[in-house]
Amino acid sequence: MNVLIIAAKEIHQAIRNRWVLAATLLLAGLALSLTFLGSAPTGNVGVRTLDVVVVSLSSLTIFLVPLIALLISHDAIVGEMERGTMLLLLSYPVARWQVLLGKFLGHLAVLAFATCLGYGAAVGALAATGSQIDSDSFLAFAAMVGSSVLLGAAFVAIGYLVSALVRDRGTAAGICIGLWLLLVLIYDMALLGVLALDQGRSISAAALNAMLLANPTDAYRLINLTGFANVSTFAGMAGLAQTTSLTIPVLLTALLGWTLLPLGLAALAFSRREL
């Protein structure tokens, strides 16, 4: 009950602060432009447009959704402490884990709303312009939206962990930008570099799989680019899709773990904090 009251307040605040509007418009705008610009080179004949959209949108999601998630989550705890609102909230009959979980549900709802509506706009636009959408493509699209929300959840949880550990908002923001750069950009480049240098001599397939699971964005990428046969041909990942032993349940579990572990640690750190 307390969790829902706090979640409802977070949603209310996000609507008031125009967070919901901004995130939805941003995602919808990019999704629409990718849908129409992205299909220009392939044309509309013979290619299932929605599959192309899934590939381009999931690449976009990897950059954008973690960024939005970290932006709304990084000051959830330390920010409220600095503003002094946490002091009053914790004098109420609520447990600290309830505060954290309530915020999480609220922020996740905002993110899910923006993603579903923003990306949904792309499908709506395709349908409206008369593209054929078969059920396979739609399934891949729905999985992409669902996993995008899960990716967002993981980064919201990571943002909370940072927020629960640091002393001030500036530090939280700095660390979150660093984490974003690391997980979204640097990790993959470093991994590619290592693989290229190694030439398959000492890094086994199992080790590679572990390294891919160790980054939520890679787990997300694999779900969307290799999980669905119709999509992986366009993603240029068909080869990888046949060789990888990481199945969708494993990848989903990894994403879920990336959500629950930081969230649990954040709750632990928050419960030890003194205000």
Residues within the interface to other proteins (CB under 8 A): 2, 5, 9, 12-13, 16-17, 83-85, 87-88, 90-96, 271, 274-275
> What counts of helices (H) and strands (E) characterise the chain?
14, 0
User: Least distance to other proteins from the beta carbon of 99, Å?
Assistant: 10
Distance of closest approach, residue 109 Cβ to other proteins, in angstroms: 17
* Shorter beta-carbon distance to other proteins: residue 64 or 71: 71
Looking at the chain, list the stretches that DSSP marks H as alpha helix, in order from N- to C-terminal side.
2-16, 19-38, 49-73, 78-83, 85-89, 96-128, 135-165, 169-180, 187-198, 205-213, 216-226, 229-235, 238-243, 248-272
What is the nearest approach in angstroms of other proteins to the Cβ of residue 172?
A: 18
Residues 6 or more apart whose CB falls under 8 angstroms from that of 274 comprise none
Which lies closer to other proteins via its Cβ, residue 86 or residue 145? 86
Torsion (CA) 150, 153, 157, 159 in degrees, nearest 10: 120
Q: Which amino acid belongs to residue 153?
A: A
DSSP 215: S
Pick the closer one to other proteins by CB: 245 or 274: 274
Q: Which is nearer to other proteins, 208 or 273 (CB)?
A: 273
* Nearer to other proteins among residue 84 and residue 130 (C-beta): 84
Minimum distance from residue 96 beta carbon to other proteins (Å): 7
> Contact 220/61 with Cβ under 8 angstroms?
yes
Q: How far is the CB of 102 from other proteins (least distance, A)?
A: 10
